[in-house]
Amino acid sequence: LIGSSTEQPEIYPLASAIMLSAIVALTLGVSAHTVLSAPMHSDATVLNIPTKKIAPGVEMPMAGLGTWLYNTSEAHDAVLLALQIGYTHIDTALGYNNQVGIAEAIKESGRDRKSFFITSKIPGGLNFSEATAQLDLSLKQLGLEYVDLMLTHFPNAWGPFLPNGAELRREQWRAMEAFQKSGKARAIGVSHYCKRHLEDILPIATVPIAVNQVQYHVGMGMENDNATDDKAFNEAHGITYESFSPLCGPCNTMELINGSLVTGIGAKYNKSGAQVSLKWQTQQGIPVIPKTHTKAHMLENVDLFSWTLSDDDMHALTAATTPIVAGDAGPPPTSGDCIVP
């Protein structure tokens, strides 16, 4: 699940205040350097996208491209364009059924493998052998020798839920660790996991849980743990909290793109509403992976690191109560993840 930014205002030129970006990055524990560049398309823009350490020796770009709901050809076109203009992070999943198109885009881009970061995911609710097969299938579809980050996509089967969820979470994690130790993934993590799910695997983990990719966006800043999938617990245990749907794609609203709060704040900085919504997260050290297929929006979505929201604007965005989390409307609203057995 990834947010969408398909109707943003016009693109503004990328700023060049790299020193300011570095200062902000260091404050958040984000690396001031970018992922290694490689030969790109002749009209490529040099994008200064900082990274965050998620595991020993592994740096994740703080902004990337999501591909949820793109079919094979759509994913191909979006990913090829993103790689041509200098993107350094592409997010996909076996369940998106678009990895073959992404593999073709990677090959056509001519980018050096070390110049970009790939995240993929396999379904949850699998035993060791099933998980191993799905991991190998994902890598085969992508046409890669390794991914930078592999996630378990959900804490159980998508449905119907299996009764032995905790046992399978542990078994699947062991398969993920074997995959990582074989050199096929640089880091491993989870998605949609709440505290209870994480506590099933933390005691047996021999490889750190690098990332928990969950829904998070403006409107959720004051929400309870069942809405945020226990954000504070993740952070307390050194698990990078990564946002999918950072513009609330599943919320059936454009509020985080053209709503009065974000556009009003954006006007102060000559930025769009979408940029403000994304900046609220990256300024907290939360990586984002918004989805778009247009060059202007791609550039806008990573122009987040040479400017800073004021404390007052950050507080206003944190205090926003809409849009609510997409999932179970409640009351109170929740993601629905924490009830998964």
Name the residues annotated as catalytic: 96
- CA nearest neighbour of 140 among 125, 123, 120, 156: 120
The secondary element (H helix, E strand) that includes residue 242 is strand 240-244
Contact 155, 179 (CB under 8 A): no
- Over the range 329-339, which residues count as b (16 or more CB within 10 Å of their CB) and which as e? eeeebbbbbbe
Residue 212 one-letter amino acid: N
- The Cα–Cα gap between 215 and 324 comes to 11
The CA–CA distances, whole Å, from 244 to 18, 114, 215, 248 equal 26, 24, 5, 8
Report the DSSP pairing between strands 50-55 and 30-34: antiparallel
Side-by-side strand order, sheet with 50-55: 30-34, 50-55, 58-61
- The Cα–Cα gap between 47 and 279 comes to 16
List the structure tokens of 232.
């504070």
- The Cα–Cα gap between 303 and 63 comes to 9
Helices and strands: H and E segment counts in the chain: 13, 10
Contact 309, 279 (CB under 8 A): yes
For helices 295-302 and 273-282, the axis angle rounded to 10 degrees is 40
The CA–CA distances, whole Å, from 174 to 51, 149, 193, 207 equal 27, 16, 16, 9
- The Cα–Cα gap between 132 and 122 comes to 10
- Total residue length of the chain: 341
